Amino acid sequence: MPPNVWLAQDNANPEIKYILKRPSEDKPHTKESHITALTAFTHELEMQKLFAQEPMIRSLVDYIPDSEPTGPMMVLEANTRPFTTTEIKWIMKGVLLGIFTVHMKGLVYTDLKLENVALGGFDPAKPNDNVRDLIVRLADCGSSIRPSTATRQITSLTYRSPEVHFGEPWSQSTDVWSWGVILAQLLQAQVDFQSPGMYYSMSVGTLVEKEKAIRDQFAIDFDLSSVPLYAEDEQCAKLLPAAQPEEAYMWANTMVEKGVAGEDIQFLVEVLHPDPEARLTIPEILESGYLD
């Protein structure tokens, strides 16, 4: 977990777990960085309160104010084995409905990642007899904002959509991409539990170097040189590496070789479409029957 996030347990009942979160602490510590971190933390707290009554968003259990020695701090709801196919689809449907909840308010979640999916009722020893016992919640709404025509960078690198990586305008469709990456990671873990998830192993050099490495790999994996949105945009074209069409969608082949079903791969290809206008929408995903 990040250095400002902890897993805690109830003293009276160790089975009950919580997530504690404080403002991030950038180094070097300066007055400006503290104000920035506190502003972001306050916005996240406001978003948690906004979605307090929504069943698909992880609940804010308590708040420790700044006046307390350990404050300010949020206390949030808080669970290892591969998920079954039924569990994966149930979880991903819950996450999708959480995103849809945010979208219905005209916002983009912008920070969808595994770390922001809270799961309750999970039995680490064996699959649940009733998958509906799994309680799925979307956590950390602090990055939820309006869609933007600007080129602001959003989302953790691993889950960032191509349009964001390449400086294109982004909309609610960028959340669908992040959702697809999570699905890919869970499907990978089901057949190869010890391997890192999609793009997780790319940790070269500085943040800027890692960003370029992932962006270049995206361009190759999804053959962006053949996608007009990127190939015909002057600024995007400058960022594209040399085309390698023979390597396009090799990630899908690798997943098939490891044992991921062809049906799952075909669905992923439609969700992880590099053109946001051609990407499946949330209603289309729900209507497809894939998650049933």
Residue 20 is predicted with a pLDDT of 84
Which phi and psi (to 5°) does residue 249 adopt?
60, 25
Same domain, 163 and 94: yes
**How does pLDDT run across 23-58, given as a tens digit for each residue?**
877 656 677 777 888 888 888 888 888 887 776 677
Q: How many residues does the chain have?
A: 292
Which of 77, 108, 128 represents a domain boundary (last residue)? 77
Which of 77, 103, 135 represents a domain boundary (last residue)? 77
Domain count, the chain: 2
Tell me the HSE value of 127 on the side-chain side, using a 13 A CA sphere: 12
**How does pLDDT run across 113-168, given as a tens digit for each residue?**
988 998 888 877 788 889 999 999 988 887 888 887 666 778 888 899 999 999 99
Same domain, 105 and 180: yes
Domain of 231, CATH number, reads 1.10.510.10
Confidence band for 67, pLDDT divided at 50, 70 and 90: confident
The residue written with tokens 């945010």 in the block is: 102
The proportion of the chain whose per-residue pLDDT surpasses 70, expressed as a percent, equals 90
Q: Using an 8 Å Cβ cutoff, are 105 and 116 in contact? A: no
Same domain, 71 and 92: no
Same domain, 272 and 196: yes
Instruction: Please determine, for residue 203, whether its predicted confidence score (pLDDT) is greater than 60.
Output: no
Same domain, 98 and 235: yes
Same domain, 96 and 59: no
Domain of 57, CATH number, reads 3.30.200
Domain that holds residue 128: 85-288
Q: Using an 8 Å Cβ cutoff, are 103 and 57 in contact? A: no
Same domain, 190 and 103: yes
Residue 110 is predicted with a pLDDT of 93
Confidence band for 78, pLDDT divided at 50, 70 and 90: low
Same domain, 151 and 261: yes
Rounded mean pLDDT, 66-75: 79
Same domain, 89 and 186: yes
Same domain, 276 and 197: yes
